[in-house]
Chain A
């Protein structure tokens, strides 16, 4: 159930990214909602789940919008996995750690995306424009995380059956 919920969440983030966040006026200041959702997912459900969801949503993005298959699936898979690795380094999961992970991974994802696109001759990009865009997106994604973290953390935290309950689902205390 939590896997379905996680997939729906990440997929909905992609749909919003590709629709509302592409409208004129919003376009420049729009966060990468997929990345933010994946980082929060990684912090509450672990590396394996985040990796799988990252690859799946990346494949959808590649299939529908991308010039070829593999670019976004690898990028988002790596984002999911390394977000969990970064967050796991600390004893307590908290907003600050997740915020830092979001900023670092945004920077890495932007450079990976731009680098691979450039390397495969799909676009002519300047280093300065990639740097400017990645720094700007770090800021925007960080702010988006601050807004979405409380909501998505509760929504994505898997519910577990308590040993002493009568079958009702209890929230996982983490």
Chain B
């Protein structure tokens, strides 16, 4: 039979060896990717991402324009609503100014240091490509070690919502693992901002086949978690600073019976339509 000419025992042996080599290489490189990326890989990354950028940027811009036209009607409606709200803006501004002055005064009194958020050094970057695989959620950006980007640095959207973290950094480009990627380590340590000013702790991970792309686990069974509450980073991890908005609770469900509860979380960042992001360069702030 003709197939036997192609699938000989020697070739099957080579295939078997290849599978074993892949599994071994996977084990080694999966760990190594968390550290510094080897220079040949950095060169491949930079070349691929530079070429990808030439194609992705104009196409993403065009896609954004088309999407904008589609939303034009909604924009008119929002504009009308905003004009109405603007009427009470002046009064609100005066109240805000008073509150800020009071806040400064109180902060001085308790020796409170200004929020870290004001001291983040951000590196802007364009999104230049995405992983074509169906089962992984990574994207590539055109900022690398040349501007100070390193592995494990958090990445946020222009609105300040959490996007993910850097998993590999070349000189001119980097790979970012999205928060929706189920391979993002053990998840993101997070807090639900509950109504009674006592945040509820949990772990946010990517969710495959769930109602939302993110799932929050290990919530206390007695915690007062409601739909619509904001989820932010807790600051209990070495990677993500405290207070970055992750998303909002869309659904609350049962976790381990009697012990914990789970929540479906809608990401705040529009992860499908990202064109620009910021990398938080830690250690360079004040």
Contacts and interface: CB of A to CB of B under 8 A. Distances in A.
Contact of A18 (B3, B130, B167): B130
Contacts of B227: none
Interface in B116-174: 128-136, 138, 140, 167
Interface stretch (A109-117, A151-159, A161-169): A109-117
Which of A19, A60, A123 gathers the greatest number of chain B CB atoms within 10 Å? A19
Contact of A113 (B59, B135, B208): B135
A129 interface: yes
B26 A70 contact: yes
Contacts of A121: 183
B22 A61 contact: no
Interface string B211-224: 00000000000000
Interface in A107-159: 110, 113-114, 116-117, 120-126, 128-129, 133, 137
Contact of B209 (A64, A67, A126): A126
Q: Which of A15, A116, A121 has the most CB of B within 10 A?
A: A15
Interface size class of B (residues with CB under 8 A): 35 or more
B237 interface: no
B41 A63 contact: yes
Interface residues of A, number: 53
B26 A15 contact: no
Contacts, number: 152
Contact of B18 (A74, A120, A126, A133): A74
A52 interface: no
A34 interface: yes
Contacts of B63: 23-25
Contacts of A89: 2-3
Interface stretch (B46-54, B85-93, B103-111, B190-198): B46-54
Interface of B: 2-3, 6-7, 15, 18-19, 21-23, 25-27, 29-30, 33, 41, 44-45, 48-49, 51-52, 55-56, 59-60, 63, 67, 128-136, 138, 140, 167, 175, 177, 181-183, 206, 208-209, 272-273
15 contacts: A18-B130, A19-B52, A19-B128, A22-B132, A23-B63, A64-B45, A68-B33, A70-B21, A70-B23, A73-B22, A77-B18, A123-B181, A125-B135, A125-B182, A126-B209
